[in-house]
Amino acid sequence: MGRLPSRFPVAEEDEDKVLKDELRVFEQHKQEWLRSNSGNFVVIARATVAGFYPDYESAFRAGLEKFGVAAQFLVKQVCAEEPVYLIY
């Protein structure tokens, strides 16, 4: 079964670079977003910021609708400190 076409197709070898670019966009805007969207989830695909959403599920659905199911995009919560999750 083939992959579905995407607005932002990414070769496997470029996946790390794309993620690093998306994280860079997040870090560049983090302080601004903490003032305006603290606690919300941002959707970023490459350098495109698709919006802010109140929960992960809403952000993920918005990313799928905007970029397609085969596209890669980042969903990340805007918070001052990264949460630490323990799995037992």
Mean pLDDT by 10 residues, the chain (88 residues): 48 81 97 97 96 98 96 96 88
Q: What is the spatial distance between Cα 17 and Cα 21, in angstroms, rounded to a whole number?
A: 6
Q: What is the spatial distance between Cα 45 and Cα 20, in angstroms, rounded to a whole number?
A: 11
The pLDDT assigned to 14 comes to 83
Do residues 17 and 26 touch, judged by C-beta distance below 8 A? Answer: no
| Contacts (Cβ under 8 Å, ≥6 apart) of 21 | 46, 47
The pLDDT assigned to 3 comes to 38
51: number of Cβ within 10 Å: 15
The pLDDT assigned to 2 comes to 40
The predicted model scores a pTM of: 0.81
